[in-house]
Amino acid sequence: MKIYFRLLSFAKPIEKYAIPYIIVTLLAIFFNTFLFTLLGPLLETLFSTTKVTMLEKASTLDFIGQFNSYINFTIVTYGKLYTLKIVCAIIVGSVFLANFFRYMSQRIMEDLRVHTLLNLRRAVFNNVMDQHIGYFSNEKKGDIISKIASDVQVVQGTVTNTLQVVFKEPVQVIFYIGVLLSISIKLTVFSLLVIPVSGFIISKIVKRLRHQAKELHESFAKMIGFLDEALGGIRIIKAFNATSRIKDKFQNENIYYSDLTRKIARRQQLASPVSQTLGVLVVVFIVLYGGSMILSNQGDLTPSKFLVYIAVFSQVMQPIKALSDSFSAIHTGIAAGERVLDLVDIKPELTDKENAVQLNEFNDRIQFDHVFFNYGEKEVLKDINITITKGQTVALVGPSGGGKSTLIDLIPRFYDPKSGSVLIDGVNLKDAALNSLRHQMGTVNQESILFNDTIYNNIAFGKPEATQEEVIAAAKIANAHDFILNTENGYETSIGDRGNKLSGGQKQRICIARAVLANPPIMLLDEATSALDTESEKLVQDALNNLMKNRTSIVIAHRLSTIQHADTIIVIDNGTVSERGTHLELLAQNGLYKRLIDMQTFAD
């Protein structure tokens, strides 16, 4: 229940929905129950052969007796036909009111469902977006997607539906039992034995449901993740003739998921037949027991009252059935809820301090002061000391896995150093507001990250308020304007998923145009031309040269053409700065840089 109440907290302010829901539900239950109390008077009016000569006084608490007394009065005063019309009119009115208030209760509950889903999905997505970059390296994308899309939907339906059932159905049962007790206390005590027996049997049926439901959600997450990987790597799959193996792998998980679905459905579906079967058995015993009471003239149970009793008791089983269905469904919802709360409860490693410093403008320098960093047990950066002054172009080079990309990721605080500090204009980045920090810099990566949108919107991604003239000007600086005009709809051309309608060089120039438009004072370029052919590389390199003019640029590169004109070249090897200087100075040292130049192997 602890998990359930935590999930229910996302329905706040719940009183906005709960109070009107309780009012209209009580009215719906009242008029629905009232319908069955009218059966007795209707039968008495139609079939009674006894002439009513005087009115019977009923107990104040005997609602049915009170109503029968009124019916008798109407028969004596106005006759049976008039009374029949009155009863039918009351039935029509009761049906209308019962259904009207039931509709209103469902409408309010639907508003609560939507409200809860909105809050829960927002909380999960926002918390995921606040995580540091390393979190996404360790987590499976399919699992995250499954939790946000599928599990949240399961939780939303279960929590609010259960809330509805937990209030409505017990109250409805209480109303029905009140009617049954007013007819026959002895018969009611006997008949209600079915409720605890039914509850015990159903609890046994759904005992393992929560564990199986959790396995089901995890299996679904695997399928989503596998689907994402298969679609993203479709070229490689086909190139290596791996289509059959991928199909088989997916089908194996698909079979496992289907088997779990079948097992859970069987358990859930078994609860309702068991409940109904027990209900029918009790009705049979009621007919025998109540019928013998009437035939032997024991008590004041009349045939019309007995018919009303059976009709009302048959309705008692409906809310009990709904409760049993809800009891099994809540196990599924709680299992999904545990997975969703996993995302809600993750604490972001990188957050702003209370009085975070706003970096309004970059004026002086970037400093790495005795910086250490490690992934788990693996030390990646060791005692890094670098100073980059405003307007400089600094190239980071070195063997693959040396720590260059990690170093550059510390500047926008994708990670924080484990020891030491990174400073901009003397401000420790841990003390700086993240939004203002990242506003100072633009990034162009080896992988062109674009969105399934128009060319225009991709360029304007970092500056949504940009004018069309500004977007076109940025595209021209990035050498992208001409090819954009040759596309189907120019700047309004949709580029497809991850920009798959464009070539590598075109995608990279769109990314550069995006960075140009944002106009940051600091540029971070990570292998921006390494994946391009020679012709595309020249166009992109020209665009990068335009981009780096009058900016502070930090460049990771492996090609001589990219780095030889840098103001400073820093060689990173095994997480340390092994050499630094200009191109000519480093060549003269005849060290690692010279060997890399000779091999032309500047790698990630």
Per-residue pLDDT tens digits for 224-277:
878 777 877 776 777 667 788 888 888 888 888 888 888 877 776 776 677 667
Tell me: do 195 and 251 sit in the same domain. yes
Amino acid 279: pLDDT: 67
For residue 107, pLDDT over 50 is answered with yes
Residue after which a domain boundary falls, among 322, 344, 366: 344
Looking up residue 31, the CATH number of its domain turns out to be 1.20.1560.10
Amino acid 498: pLDDT: 76
Tell me: do 100 and 248 sit in the same domain. yes
pLDDT tens readout for residues 167-215: 777 888 888 888 888 777 877 877 777 667 666 666 666 666 667 777 8
Amino acid 60: pLDDT: 44
Average pLDDT of span 299-324: 72
User: For the chain, what is the domain count?
Assistant: 2
For residue 388, pLDDT over 90 is answered with yes
Tell me: do 210 and 264 sit in the same domain. yes
DSSP 8-state class, residue 491: G
Split at pLDDT 50, 70, 90, the class of 603 is: very low
371 contacts 577 by C-beta, under 8 angstroms: no
CB neighbours (10 Å) of residue 462? 19
Amino acid 534: pLDDT: 63
Domain that holds residue 17: 2-344
**pTM, full prediction:** 0.67
Distance between CA atoms of residues 46 and 266, nearest Å: 46
Tell me: do 145 and 293 sit in the same domain. yes
Residue after which a domain boundary falls, among 312, 344, 376: 344
CB neighbours (10 Å) of residue 546? 14
Place of tokens 């409906």: 318
The least confident of 75-89, 155-169, 283-297, 574-588 is: 155-169
Tell me: do 151 and 101 sit in the same domain. yes
Tell me: do 263 and 305 sit in the same domain. yes
Long-range CB contacts (< 8 A, 24+ apart) of 79-88?
80/45, 83/45, 84/42, 84/45, 84/46, 87/38, 87/41, 87/42, 87/45, 88/42
Tell me: do 319 and 406 sit in the same domain. no
The least confident of 38-42, 185-189, 343-347, 496-500 is: 38-42
Tell me: do 274 and 362 sit in the same domain. no
Place of tokens 């079967």: 277
The least confident of 312-326, 350-364, 424-438, 497-511 is: 312-326
